[in-house]
C-alpha cells in the first residue's frame, strides 16, 4: 500500500502546526481510502542543528537520532509538508529536518500545506527549492491558510473549500507517488 507522511514543519512552543497537520491527516484519510497516511511530528525526533560529520548524500550517519530519522522517512513513498511561514521563509526546524537526509527523500512526491500572513506563499516557494535539491517532485497544487482568517484566537478554523483544495492536491501527490515507484525501484534495486 502507498504510504504518505504528513510532516509538521515547526517545533516551537505554542505552534499552530499540529492543528493544521491533524486536520490534513483527517481529511486525507477521509478523501483517499486506498492510501496509508501517518502524521510525523518533527518535534518528536529532537533533531539538533545538523550535526553529522558527512554530507547526507554519503549515507554515513554517525548519530542515533539521524539513523532513527532516516528509517522513519525511508518508510514513506510520498509526503505532505505542513509549513508555517517564518520571516518570509521556512522554520529553521523544517529546513534542518530535511537537510539531515538525502536518499530517503529522493524520487518521491510531495504536496505543501502552508499558512502565514500571506497564506505561507513565501515559505511554499522556499520549500519548493529545498525539496527540489533533495530530489522530491513537488506537485503544483498547494493548500494555503491565512493567519487572519483561518485561525481564530489560536484555533485553526478552515473553510469547507479547504478540504476540496486538499483533496485535489492529494490526487496529484498520490498519482506522482505511484508513478515514481518505478523510478525508486530502478534507482535502488
Q: What are the tens digits of pLDDT across the range 104-116?
A: 999 999 999 999 9
> Which of 2-6, 147-151, 183-187 has the least mean pLDDT?
183-187
**Domains with residue ranges and CATH for the chain:** 2-187 (3.40.50.360)
pLDDT > 90? residue 134: yes
Q: What are the tens digits of pLDDT across the range 36-54?
A: 999 999 999 999 999 999 9
**Pairing mode of beta strands 108-116, 2-8:** unpaired
pLDDT of residue 187: 76
Buried b (16+ CB within 10 A) or exposed e, 128-163: bebbeebbbbbbebbbbbeeeebbeeeebebeeebb
Please answer whether residues 21 and 39 qualify as being in contact, where contact means their C-beta atoms are separated by less than 8 angstroms: yes
Q: How far apart, in whole angstroms, are the C-alpha atoms of residue 115 and residue 104?
A: 26
pLDDT > 90? residue 62: yes
pTM for this entry: 0.96
pLDDT > 60? residue 68: yes
pLDDT > 70? residue 189: no
Q: What is the mean pLDDT of the chain?
A: 96
pLDDT of residue 188: 66
Q: How far apart, in whole angstroms, are the C-alpha atoms of residue 80 and residue 90?
A: 15
Instruction: Identify the H or E element spanning 42.
Output: none
Instruction: Identify the H or E element spanning 155.
Output: strand 155-156
Q: How far apart, in whole angstroms, are the C-alpha atoms of residue 55 and residue 77?
A: 23
Instruction: Read off the pLDDT of each residue in 123-145 and give the average, rounded to a whole number.
Output: 97
Amino acid at each position: 500500500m502507498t504510504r504518505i507522511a504528513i510532516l509538521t514543519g515547526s517545533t516551537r512552543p505554542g505552534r499552530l502546526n499540529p492543528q493544521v497537520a491533524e486536520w490534513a491527516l483527517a481529511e486525507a484519510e477521509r478523501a483517499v481510502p486506498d492510501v496509508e497516511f501517518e502524521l510525523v511530528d518533527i518535534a518528536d525526533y529532537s533533531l539538533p542543528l545538523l550535526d553529522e560529520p558527512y554530507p547526507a548524500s554519503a549515507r554515513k550517519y554517525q548519530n542515533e537520532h539521524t539513523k532513527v530519522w532516516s528509517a522513519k522517512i525511508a518508510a514513506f513513498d510520498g509526503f505532505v509538508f505542513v509549513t508555517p511561514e517564518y520571516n518570509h521563509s521556512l522554520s529553521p526546524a523544517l529546513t534542518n529536518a530535511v537537510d539531515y537526509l538525502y536518499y530517503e527523500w529522493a524520487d518521491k512526491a510531495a504536496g505543501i500545506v502552508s499558512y502565514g500572513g500571506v497564506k505561507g506563499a513565501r515559505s511554499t516557494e522556499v520549500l519548493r527549492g529545498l525539496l527540489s535539491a533533495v530530489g522530491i517532485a513537488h506537485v503544483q497544487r498547494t493548500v494555503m491558510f491565512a493567519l487572519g482568517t483561518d485561525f481564530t484566537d489560536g484555533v485553526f478554523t478552515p473553510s469547507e473549500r479547504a478540504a476540496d483544495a486538499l483533496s485535489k492536491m492529494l490526487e496529484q501527490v498520490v498519482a506522482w507517488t505511484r508513478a515514481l515507484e518505478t523510478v525508486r525501484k530502478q534507482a535502488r534495486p
